[in-house]
Amino acid sequence: MDALELIAVQELEVAVRIWHPEAPRTLIAWHGLARHGGDFDDFARQLGPKWRILAPDTPGRGLSDWSPAPSCHYVYSHYMTIAAAVMDHFGLERVPWVGTSMGGLLGMLLAAEPESAARIERLVLNDVGPELAPEGLAELAGYFGVPHRFLHFGELEAELRRHYAGFGIEGDDAWRRLALHSARRLPDGSWTYHFDPRIAEQFVHDTPRDTWADWAAIRCPLMVVRGQHSPLLKAESVTRMAEAQPELVSHEVPGCGHAPMLDRRDQVAPIAAFLADSPAGEPARPGDARAPWWQRLIERLGPARHR
């Protein structure tokens, strides 16, 4: 990251990681259940310096505070409060949103609620949607609902390689970086993950809602990215999502499960193209370098048609 902002939301301090702080356009990127905003480092570099990326650490993760009251703070309603506070802090009336797993569901709820819908300019869901496979959810709740302790750092890295194989991470350096950004030392010298073990209480305390009704209510442009082997978002669910939202843009990442890391060009380029359709909610102007590639090509070839 290039900068860090700390925001007080009620009694908790929320860390927001920032890339390209002086960029002309802004995007909020929100991580998954047991991750943190640092996961978007490669995504931000791939997307490029014209985008300021704001990636909050949800309370209980990364550099943000842990909650003394998980039943109040580790639930979507409070995450929505935090999202609004982040947008207010940075003076954002309307902003594109890219969310991985939990972060995607949060964006979906914001885009569906009448009070916040106008603030989401367009929405990218990374391997998540209104219908999630029960077995995949049960696995997530079971894994993150118990403490994890490793005697050696190498054991933690090996477990990360096993559990996050679906991220499609390539290379020892990338895995080592993930381990370095995921580890927390315990008082006895052993190792565990960076997050508060109580974050999984979200599965107990959160209020069930009709997420298909939420999906149907969304009016902003939508894109879904799915890992080819995702155990959480099935291909059939993406089909149903498109039936309810016919303008949905979808992209499947080969060789990935849950969830694509968005760390390489072939994963980021389709998202960049989707975002470029309407920069900051305004139509691209002729000659604008932000205009879609096809528009710039037509403008460049235009005079040749009269020769």
pLDDT digits (tens, 9 = 90+) for 220-264: 999 999 999 999 999 999 999 999 999 999 999 999 999 999 999
- DSSP character string of 146-183: S---BSSHHHHHHHHHHHTGGG---SHHHHHHHHHTTE
- Return the CA Rg of the chain: 20
Neighbouring-strand partners of residue 120: 95
pLDDT tier at 167, thresholds 50, 70, 90: confident
- What mean pLDDT do residues 89-113 have? 98
Residues 6+ positions from 239 with CB-CB distance below 8 Å = none
- pTM beyond 0.75: the answer is yes
Of 292 and 235, the structure prediction assigns the larger pLDDT to 235
Of 302 and 121, the structure prediction assigns the larger pLDDT to 121
- What mean pLDDT do residues 179-191 have? 96
pLDDT tier at 289, thresholds 50, 70, 90: very low
> Strands (DSSP E) along 134-273, which ranges?
183-185, 191-193, 222-227, 249-253
pLDDT for 303 beyond 90: no
Q: What average pLDDT does the chain have?
A: 90
Tell me the two tokens of residue 244: 């309810």
Tell me the two tokens of residue 281: 């909610």
Report yes or no: 64 and 7 within 8 Å, Cβ to Cβ: no
Report yes or no: 35 and 100 within 8 Å, Cβ to Cβ: yes
Set out the domains of the chain in order of their start, with CATH numbers.
Answer: 3-137+211-276 (3.40.50.1820)
Of 121 and 136, the structure prediction assigns the larger pLDDT to 121
Residue 286 confidence (pLDDT) = 38
> pLDDT for 190-228, tens place per residue?
999 999 999 988 888 888 899 999 999 999 999 999 999
CA angle 254, 255, 260 (to 5 degrees): 80
| Overall residue count recorded for the chain in this entry | 307
Q: Terminal CA-to-CA distance of the chain, rounded, Å?
A: 49
Alpha carbon 186 to its chain's center: 28
pLDDT tier at 89, thresholds 50, 70, 90: very high
Handedness of CA 193, 196, 202, 203 (dihedral sign): positive
pLDDT for 27 beyond 90: yes
